[in-house]
């Protein structure tokens, strides 16, 4: 066993962080369908240069491996694009699988159906049809009849990351069958979260609670959605790695009696089950892959930096689903993660372990990280997002961490429900109040440079404070050493 670990951790087979990051960037660019060939070639060439410079001359195998990864991503992306366009249209009759939970809008409802391995979006506008599809859940099978029609090119591009290939115009939706055992368990957890929170909170706050703990924002009103976007808090309804951390920590005592490999298998199954609860949102998929990376490194005895795990997660995601590169949510999640990793690195260099300072640093780091993708996609970002996040994120994080176990315990043991749900209700109100204040103080038409300036100044103040604190602590320790 010792020889096995020595072989795995041998420096001969170790890939540098810059090489993995460069490969991830190149893979993402190759997979993105809207990046030009010239830009792709340039990025791939730069990535190969980075790999070459960061590796000894004897590592020809590394260059070959990176080229193979790039080629595989390219082939996978080409195949995905071909399958996305070559869709047979016409009359449809048969069983369809509900891909995701339906979403209700002001004048219509939308659901994604998998019919004969082709994903369709169905828009329901009649009250009876809307009520019918809103009763469905992800994984359900429903007997349908209707017509499959081509999507408008602009619409097709917007829903590409969901793999929607056509629109379904339904004549009727008939019998419904439940999905698999896993899908039924997932839907049951989502139902318990919705029902229990609705018992202790008003409809708006119950919808926000579901968004915080499982990323289910379907029931949020248009006003709440706009409020959280305007205040820079919309990311809170995209679940993060905190939830996975709690899940694995809660399971740790029971898994302690298992062997390393069995513990790894069960832990990975738990991670993927939770990812299924959130409907495999890009942010939680990224967190799940990083968690699996940590579990794998624990079993094999290998170390690794967080940025390396993030890069590997991106590589795996674009290998599995090239269209995920068109998801704005993914890049906001990746950007926030990079910012958090950098912030924690700064604290580590300064040898600061304060919980309060860490919470502030993580929040500011995440804001710095999302700044680039937000400006690139939306050409704007909320001006006061950083201070509003400093107020809301710590409380929202507590809700994310204890939300699911609290709801499950409250559902199973009703007498303890007030003790668990009342504090959570007040915490959700706090987050919503922060969003309301953030929306109220947001300027109507701020200049483009103002929001980035606030973020950069916040980061500069934080870095200066951290290092001043570190120097003060070092001076206080000097007499004791002497």
Residues of the chain with CATH 2.40.50.140: 90-179
Q: SS3 letters for 254-288?
A: HHCCCCHHHHHHHHHHHHHHHHHHCCCCHHHHHHH
Bridge partners, residue 173, by sequence = 144
Closest to 438 measured CA to CA, from 371, 367, 389, 375: 389
Q: What is the reported pLDDT for 8?
A: 38
- Name the token pair of 434: 């922060």
C-alpha 103/C-alpha 105 separation (Å) is 7
Bridge partners, residue 112, by sequence = 121
pLDDT at 6 over 50: no
**Which residues, 6+ apart, have CB-to-CB distance to 448 below 8 Å?**
375, 379, 380
Q: Is 114 helix (H, G, I), strand (E, B) or coil?
A: strand
Q: Roughly how many angstroms between the first and final C-alpha of the chain, as a whole number?
A: 45
- Name the token pair of 69: 């990864």
Q: What is the mean pLDDT of residues 175-204?
A: 90
pLDDT-derived band at 106, boundaries 50, 70, 90: confident
pLDDT digits (tens, 9 = 90+) for 147-157: 999 888 888 88
Helix, strand, coil % over all residues of the chain, rounded to 5: 70, 10, 20
Element containing residue 305 per DSSP (H, E): none
Q: What is the dihedral of CA 413, 419, 424, 425, to 10 degrees?
A: 100
C-alpha 282/C-alpha 317 separation (Å) is 9
Other C-beta atoms closer than 10 Å to the C-beta of 375 total: 14
What CATH architecture is 90-179? Beta Barrel (2.40)
C-alpha 50/C-alpha 48 separation (Å) is 5
pLDDT digits (tens, 9 = 90+) for 347-406: 777 777 777 777 788 888 888 888 888 888 887 888 898 889 989 988 988 888 888 889
pLDDT digits (tens, 9 = 90+) for 44-103: 999 999 988 887 655 778 888 899 999 999 999 988 888 777 677 788 899 999 998 898
C-alpha 365/C-alpha 347 separation (Å) is 11
Bridge partners, residue 341, by sequence = none
Q: What is the reported pLDDT for 14?
A: 63
pLDDT at 476 over 80: no
Closest to 382 measured CA to CA, from 338, 438, 337, 332: 438
Q: Where are the alpha helices (DSSP H) in 350-415?
A: 355-378, 385-412
Q: Which residue has tokens 């318990």?
A: 192
C-alpha 357/C-alpha 364 separation (Å) is 11
pLDDT at 7 over 60: no
pLDDT at 239 over 80: no
List the single range of 144-148, 241-245, 377-381, 456-460 with lowest mean pLDDT.
241-245
Closest to 267 measured CA to CA, from 283, 289, 246, 252: 252
pLDDT at 481 over 50: no
- Highest mean pLDDT, choosing among 73-87, 168-182, 310-324: 310-324
Is the CB of residue 232 less than 8 Å from the CB of residue 442? Answer: no
pLDDT digits (tens, 9 = 90+) for 217-230: 888 888 898 899 88
Q: What is the mean pLDDT of residues 163-188?
A: 89
Q: What is the reported pLDDT for 439?
A: 92
Q: What is the reported pLDDT for 3?
A: 33
Scored b (16 or more CB within 10 A) or e, 32-59 reads: beeeeeeebeebbeebbebbbebbeeeb
- Name the token pair of 223: 């006003």
Bridge partners, residue 113, by sequence = 98, 120
Whole-number average pLDDT of the chain: 85
C-alpha 408/C-alpha 423 separation (Å) is 15
pLDDT digits (tens, 9 = 90+) for 32-49: 988 999 999 999 999 999
pLDDT digits (tens, 9 = 90+) for 243-289: 677 677 777 888 888 888 888 999 999 899 888 888 888 888 898 99
pLDDT at 431 over 90: yes
pLDDT at 112 over 80: yes
Is pLDDT larger for residue 351 or for residue 22? Answer: 22
């Amino acid at each position: 066993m010792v020889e096995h670990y020595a072989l795995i951790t041998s420096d001969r087979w170790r890939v540098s962080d810059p090489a993995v990051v460069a490969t991830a960037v190149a893979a993402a660019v190759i997979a993105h369908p809207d990046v030009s060939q010239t830009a792709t070639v340039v990025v791939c060439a730069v990535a190969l240069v980075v790999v070459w410079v960061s590796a000894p001359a004897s590592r020809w195998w590394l260059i070959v491996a990176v080229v193979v990864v790039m080629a595989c991503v390219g082939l996978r992306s080409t195949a995905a694009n071909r399958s996305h366009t070559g869709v047979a249209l016409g009359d449809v009759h048969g069983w369809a699988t509900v891909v995701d939970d339906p979403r209700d809008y002001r004048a219509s409802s939308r659901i994604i159906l998998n019919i004969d391995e082709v994903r369709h979006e169905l828009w329901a506008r009649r009250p009876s049809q809307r009520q019918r599809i809103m009763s469905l859940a992800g994984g359900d099978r429903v007997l349908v009849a209707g017509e499959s029609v081509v999507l408008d090119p602009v619409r097709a591009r917007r829903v590409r990351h969901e793999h929607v290939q056509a629109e379904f115009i339904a004549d009727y939706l008939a019998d419904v069958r439940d999905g698999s055992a896993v899908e039924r368990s997932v839907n049951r957890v989502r139902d318990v979260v919705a029902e229990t929170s609705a018992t202790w909170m008003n409809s708006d706050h119950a919808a926000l609670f579901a968004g915080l703990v499982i990323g289910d924002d379907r029931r949020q009103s248009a006003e709440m959605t706009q409020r959280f976007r305007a205040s820079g808090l919309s990311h809170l309804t995209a679940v993060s790695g905190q939830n996975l951390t709690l899940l694995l920590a809660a399971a740790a005592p029971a898994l302690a009696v298992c062997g390393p490999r069995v513990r790894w298998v069960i832990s990975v199954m738990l991670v993927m089950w939770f990812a299924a609860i959130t409907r495999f949102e890009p942010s939680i998929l990224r967190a799940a892959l990083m968690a699996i990376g940590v579990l794998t490194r624990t079993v094999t005895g290998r170390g690794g930096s967080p940025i390396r795990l993030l890069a590997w997660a991106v590589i795996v995601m674009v290998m599995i689903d090239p269209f995920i590169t068109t998801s704005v949510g993914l890049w906001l999640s990746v950007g926030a993660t990079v910012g958090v990793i950098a912030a924690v690195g700064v604290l580590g260099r300064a040898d600061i372990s304060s919980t309060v300072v860490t919470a502030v640093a993580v929040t500011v780091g995440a804001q710095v990280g999302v700044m680039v993708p937000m400006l690139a996609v939306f050409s704007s970002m909320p001006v006061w997002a950083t201070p509003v996040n400093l107020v809301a994120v710590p409380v929202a994080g507590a809700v994310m961490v204890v939300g699911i176990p609290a709801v499950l315990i409250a559902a199973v043991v009703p007498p303890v429900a007030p003790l668990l749900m009342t504090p959570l209700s007040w915490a959700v109100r706090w987050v919503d109040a922060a969003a309301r204040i953030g929306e109220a103080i947001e300027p109507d038409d701020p200049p483009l440079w103002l929001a980035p300036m606030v973020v950069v100044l916040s980061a500069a103040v934080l870095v200066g404070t951290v290092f001043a604190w570190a120097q003060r602590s070092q001076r206080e320790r000097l007499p004791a050493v002497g």
